Amino acid sequence: MSNNHEGRAVPQVIFRTRREHEWVNVNTDEIFKDKTVVVFSLPGAFTPTCSSTHVPRYNQLAPVFKQNGVDEIVCISVNDAFVMNEWQREQHADNLTFLPDGNGHFSAGMGMLVDKEELGFGKRSWRYSMLVKNGIVEKMFVEPDLPGDPFEVSDADTMLAHIAPSAAKPRDVTVFTREGCEFCVRAKGMLRDAGMQFEELVLNRDYSEACLRAVAGKSTVPQVFIDGVYIGGSEDLESYLGKAIAA
């Protein structure tokens, strides 16, 4: 897949979207005119790579993109509005704009509409990302023309490295908690005070006690992990944050 539209205008199309149970037509200018927009396009909603990596990382890094001059981050797929809206809700991707390219007009205009009939998908978008300024494509990252669904260059980190190479990225923080745990509340408060976003996993909703023992080697909560490193409970977190501030 060698189509590269750098220096060219994005296609003029109408996106048929749904808002508050009503059809709303959104045209290209409403998305791109007088704005800096990052777009990432992918083969299909609810598909594995798109759901596990592509969307979540763009959603996580959205605040950093916006701190570095990006007005909007748009996810486009050849799916209808109902599917795209439900997928956004399922992904909790509130930092992104999901646009349904149901008829493939935008993808075709970008030269990115491909045949996925072997998967039963019909016509879908090739995976790519682009930086668009006032409707003109400034930079594109197009996945290589390889079998399957390559995912090597259209990721959020690659785009952020192009826009702001020295930008600080949010830490990856996970907190295992349970309902009614005062120490868990304290740990979460310390993380918020430190400006650290975190994912909370709640006992008997998101994990079992056996799972916690397997991961942390303990059954008490909270248990905190930062960037893949085990920190421990609330007192351990307080010590960790204190050292980080002192440094």
153, pLDDT greater than 70? yes
Is 44 within 8 Å of 84 (Cβ atoms)?
Answer: no
Is 41 within 8 Å of 129 (Cβ atoms)?
Answer: yes
50 is catalytic: yes
> Distance between CA 158 and CA 240 in Å, rounded?
30
Give Cα 208 to chain centroid, integer Å.
27
Is 23 within 8 Å of 107 (Cβ atoms)?
Answer: no
pLDDT of amino acid 147: 85
Strand 36-42 to 72-77 pairing: parallel
Query: Which residues are 201's β-sheet partners?
Result: 176
Same fold, 14-163 and 173-246: yes
Would you say how long the chain is, in residues? 247
- What are the residue ranges of helices labelled H in the chain? 28-32, 48-49, 55-67, 81-91, 105-109, 156-163, 182-193, 209-216, 234-246
φ, ψ for residue 240, nearest 5 deg: -60, -45
CATH fit for domain 173-246, picks 3.40.30.10, 3.30.1280.10, 3.30.70.100, 2.40.50.140:
3.40.30.10
First to last CA, the chain: 47
Task: Give the residue extent of every domain in the chain.
Answer: 14-163, 173-246
Q: Of residues 50, 75, 181, 184, which has the active-site annotation?
A: 50
> Distance between CA 59 and CA 61 in Å, rounded?
6
DSSP for 128-185, written as a single string: EEEEEETTEEEEEEE--S-SS---SSSSHHHHHHHH-TTPPPPP-EEEEE-TT-HHHH
pLDDT digit string, tens, across residues 197-231: 899 999 999 999 999 999 999 999 999 999 999 99
pLDDT digit string, tens, across residues 62-117: 999 999 999 999 999 999 999 999 999 999 999 999 999 999 999 999 999 998 87
pLDDT of amino acid 4: 86
> Distance between CA 60 and CA 63 in Å, rounded?
7
Summary mean pLDDT of the chain: 94
125, pLDDT greater than 90? yes
Average pLDDT over every residue of 55-62: 96
pLDDT of amino acid 247: 63
**What is the CATH T-level fold of the domain 14-163, as seen in this structure?**
Glutaredoxin (3.40.30)
pLDDT digit string, tens, across residues 22-57: 999 999 999 999 999 999 999 999 999 999 999 999
Helix (H, G, I), strand (E, B) or coil at 204: coil
What is each CA distance from 73 to 76, 160, 180, in whole angstroms? 10, 12, 37
